[in-house]
Structure 1
Amino acid sequence: MKKTIAILLALVMTVSLLAGCSKGGGNDGEKTLTVALTAAPTHLDPHPQASTDSYRVVTQIYDRLVELDADMKLVPVLAESWEVKDETTTVFHLRKGVKFHDGNEMKAEDVKFSLERCIASPGVNYNYLIISEINIIDDYTVEFKTSEPCSVLLQRLTLDAASILSKAAVESTDDFDSHPVGCGPFKFVSWDTTSGEVVLEAFDDYWEGRPAIDKLVFKTIPESINRTVALETKEADIAYDLAATDFESVEKNPDLKLEKAASTTVWYLGMNTRDPILANKLVRKAIATAINVDDFITMVFNGNADPAHNTMLTPYLPGYVADAVKYDYSVENAKALLAQAGYADGLTLTLYVQDSQIFKDASVTIQEALRQVGITVNIKSMNASSFTSATVDGEHQLFFMSKTSIDPDSMLRSIYSEDSLGASGNRSFWTSAEVDAMLDEALATTDSAHANELYAKIQAIVADEVPIYPLAQEYINAGMQKNVEGFKLYPGKTHYIYGTSLAG
């Protein structure tokens, strides 16, 4: 009954948006693809730290030297080939004739400019600080040097932060974020920062061939039930991250289909160790012990996730170790830890979350779990931009968020390293010189077995310190109209639209 009411209300809310719309098409047969996001983009410039939904738009505008495909295999993109000269030198040979959206040809100067701009950007540069030099050999050849051997350089260059920008476009405006220019398959048209809607259009001169989609529209629909309704009413052609409770209705709808896949995303509860209460490791351990992870996954993901086993690495990444330190659920043990920490009579904490559905479900589930052991949790919900600012500045006590990564160093470094404090991902503000040294050693070694040994030690240390508590390894999904063809889910969550088409 509740779901029926929610659907009826959502229909009333969206009916005005449907008036005059021609789904999957437009004037003169224009092919328009509308994608429903969970949150409004915060940036279209790839260099400020941004949300997953921001990168889901960004990745359509820009290309990178190399990319990982839907099977997580490395493929050449703007670099048609590369060669490793020695353990600290890699030379990339660029494609000729690649055009930016402003008409300029992409050359080595743009590559050097883009990556040096990335390295100078505090929110994303932690993955690239090991790059010591970028040298232009000629217009179509560029040399990267690292200060030490880097076993994951190519993987790092697949991330959206390593997007190649038009140097001329960046230097010609004071507001590149609102006028982005890349050389990807879709070019920027408009961004309504009030509604979150972003409109892109096919780039006719795209080096790999013009997209089959003429216009690409991203709409922000935070409530998962409303994203499902948007599919049912044809307001959206694709909707990301549907609630598991809606899977059956989508799969039974003859006009819709559902795609699901494993991901490299981990959701976690973070604890600000600069806070006087949470600086006490016993309190952090009590919080971890108070949460029944299986119940959490049932309540928040409807079972559509796996336990994270107290590590930020997933089984798909090298170095994964399950339960290096375990926190078996126990109300009694959690209360005992709180008493040992000096809080036998309980305490009050504030939990910062974003205002989309998964955060709401998680926050009330965590709130109830901690209430059982004497911890009162006040929930502070806010939009993605405000959440990012608040947690970067350390205003929070508890926070809930996710991290997606395609290599173990990037995942662990962003969460635990001193280099990553604040904007780059370490919002628990916990650091360890020992962990930092091991991360650097693992990154520099060419011995994968030794690197995995170091990652195992790191996972044991951080699991014992528990500045964050990894809870769930997420599955990803997207619902879509039956006539959507060629779309593939990317395990890193920033799904590529290029290659997608609309039948009929």
Structure 2
Amino acid sequence: MRKTLLLGLVLLLALTAVPAMAARSGGTIYFVAPYGGDVFSLDPHNSHRTQDSIISLNIHKCLYEWSPEKNMPVLALAESVKISPDGKVYTFKLRPNIKFHNGRQLTVDDVIWSYNRIMSLKPASNGSRFVRPILGAKEVEDGKAKTIKGLKKIDDLTLEVTLTEPVDLKYYLFWVNTCILPKEEVEKRGKSFMTNPVGCGPFKFVKWVKGSKLVVKKFDDFYLEGRPYLDKVVYNIMPESASRDLAFKAKKLDATIVGAVNYPQYLADPVYGKNLLEVAEMFTRHIGFNQSFKPFQNKKVRQAINYAIPADLIVKKLLKGKAYPARGYLPISSPAFDPKGKKYEFDLKKAKQLMKEAGYEKGFTVEQCVGTANKSWGTGIYEAAMPYLKKIGITLKIQQMEGAAMAERLRRGEYQMYIWSVGSGPDPLESLHRFHSNNAQAGGNFIAYNNPEFDKLLDKAAHTFDQKARIDLLKKADAVFVEDAPMWFFNYNKAVLASQPWVHNLSKVAVEMMYQDMTNVWVDDKSPRANEK
């Protein structure tokens, strides 16, 4: 009898606990758009800004979408895909129940039209680099053809895509810049589509108050039944971290991005400290060495710098722990990250020995150390490193400049050292290919890296379709890169998102923490906006 009563009590407790954790439908979430004083465009084909993408990814959809759980793109608008043995032909089957916000069904014609539009826009769309691997896309971009040859309609829901070379297409066609738009709405609205878009995502555009907020509401005919859970999302445009912090603590924001200055306070808070999402974003902060500058032609000098600067200490003291010390170029969240790979630990004695072996025991002066004012990876890091480099005889002369001006200097190779943050994901092959010898400085290989062994590993990985074998090759390539030390490996950004206790299902998004897909997010009854529509 006693066992029966105990069992009944356990079942009762279990049943009463379920509603508290089950997703509830309704309510509003107040989120932030923190990367500027306004939004530029909600036409994702016509936007180059992360700020815009934060919102657009909830209005629009692509063939693939990012899965935080799997840490990779998965199918979205397509329900299945078949890939040919040579990796050059993808056959997609679209979901049959996708509707645009104007009520029309999405078909293969919309996919073909969208990709052709991306490649024909002038100035070039930011999505063009992701569509370019498709056969004939470059010809449309160059004005030599009107349509992309490699796109073939089999029927209304079946699309065949032929590539110029075998690439893992999921890493290309999940970016919001490649989303599928309704031709008739784009053509009818013209430039106003940028401010009044129509998509097929979980939320419909409602209004945009310039410089203040942008509002989207639930799309009842979204292809995933019962979702989104929220009635509305309000994006508050708040570029100032102090303002975001005050609004969040006053419970006027449901979630906010956390900067390095406030990070220790949030960690220590008994409530907010339990509601922090942290992820190693796919950005690698580093100092790049221009090997046309004679001292940097010697690998031992480059390695000496890596040993001489205490990266872990700088992350802890200067960045308040809001970063992950780098082991190599590929970040912790990359599928090809090797936790057992070589890491340059602080070793001043070894650094001095390497400088002596390289013939630079007396050191040298670096005249052109370019950087921006960014506190996490700008000239302040140079200043933190200077006393340590001085101990091995290296003197830095810092030149701080605006980001666009510095980028132009890097593309032209007009520097001796630079410090910056560069995207290092999500596709590890594409990330490392930045430094392939066939990629010019203007194309992103700012250090003009040239290593035949590294190139060979990348080329082999590109033609290896077994995923495990490809990852193993990429780990080896990253190891070669680390050993060669063409840069000082500093850190991977630790993105931190704080949320109120009533918010559920925000995700650790390694490609960019603020790219929060709100489809599965919900708020419980404790939210002051639980019943707001």
CA deviation vs aligned residue, 1:20-57 (integer Å, no higher than 9, x gap) = xxxxxxxxx98351325255667655457946555433
SS at match of 1:428: coil
Q: For the residues of structure 2 that align with 1:212 and 1:285, how far apart are their CA atoms? A: 52
- CA drift at 1:297: 1.9
Q: What is the identity, as a one-letter code, of the residue corresponding to 2:490?
A: L
SS at match of 1:476: strand
Match of 2:518 in 1: 497
Instruction: Compute the RMSD of aligned alpha carbons.
Output: 4.1
Q: Could you say if the C-alpha distance between residues 141 and 420 of structure 1 is closer, same or farther in structure 2, counting changes exceeding 3 Å? A: farther
2:202 pairs with 1:202: no
Match of 1:446 in 2: 465
Match of 1:239 in 2: 256
Q: Equivalent residues in 2 for 1:290-301 (5 A)?
A: 290-301=308-319
Max Rg structure:
2
Asked if structure 1 preserves the Cα contact closer than 8 Å seen for 2:334 and 2:425, the reply is no
Of 295, 315, 318, the residue aligned with 2:336 is 318
2:230 pairs with 1:212: yes
Match of 2:144 in 1: none
Q: For the residues of structure 2 that align with 1:450 and 1:31, how far apart are their CA atoms? A: 45
SS at match of 1:346: strand
Match of 2:81 in 1: 82
Asked if structure 2 preserves the Cα contact closer than 8 Å seen for 1:34 and 1:216, the reply is yes
Match of 1:380 in 2: 400
Asked if structure 1 preserves the Cα contact closer than 8 Å seen for 2:429 and 2:462, the reply is yes
What is the percent sequence identity of the aligned residues?
Answer: 20
Q: Equivalent residues in 2 for 1:61-210 (5 A)?
A: 61-72=59-70, 75-87=74-86, 88-101=88-101, 104-116=104-116, 128-132=131-135, 133-150=150-167, 152-171=168-187, 173=190, 181-188=198-205, 189-190=207-208, 192=210, 199-204=214-219, 205-208=221-224, 209-210=227-228
2:449 pairs with 1:430: yes
Deviates more, 1:240-249 or 1:60-69: 240-249
Q: What is the identity, as a one-letter code, of the residue corresponding to 1:84?
A: I
Q: Could you say if the C-alpha distance between residues 248 and 495 of structure 1 is closer, same or farther in structure 2, counting changes exceeding 3 Å? A: same
SS at match of 2:316: helix
Match of 1:484 in 2: 503
SS at match of 1:131: coil
Q: For the residues of structure 1 that align with 2:434 and 2:198, how far apart are their CA atoms? A: 28
Of 464, 468, 473, the residue aligned with 2:487 is 468
- CA drift at 1:207: 3.2
SS at match of 1:491: coil
Asked if structure 2 preserves the Cα contact closer than 8 Å seen for 1:202 and 1:210, the reply is no
- CA drift at 1:436: 4.3
- CA drift at 1:317: 1.0
Q: What is the identity, as a one-letter code, of the residue corresponding to 1:99?
A: K
- CA drift at 1:240: 1.4
- CA drift at 1:128: 5.0
Q: What is the identity, as a one-letter code, of the residue corresponding to 1:239?
A: T
Q: What is the identity, as a one-letter code, of the residue corresponding to 1:81?
A: S
CA deviation vs aligned residue, 1:204-252 (integer Å, no higher than 9, x gap) = 34333455142421423354x5543332133432111443753444653
2:37 pairs with 1:37: no
SS at match of 2:398: strand
**Unaligned residue ranges in structure 2 (runs of 5+):** 1-25, 136-149
Say how many residue pairs are matched: 469
Of 411, 418, 432, the residue aligned with 2:431 is 411
Of 353, 359, 363, the residue aligned with 2:372 is 353
Q: What is the identity, as a one-letter code, of the residue corresponding to 1:162?
A: T
2:278 pairs with 1:258: no
Of 57, 79, 83, the residue aligned with 1:59 is 57
Q: Could you say if the C-alpha distance between residues 317 and 303 of structure 1 is closer, same or farther in structure 2, counting changes exceeding 3 Å? A: same
Match of 2:4 in 1: none
- CA drift at 1:459: 1.8
- CA drift at 1:141: 1.5
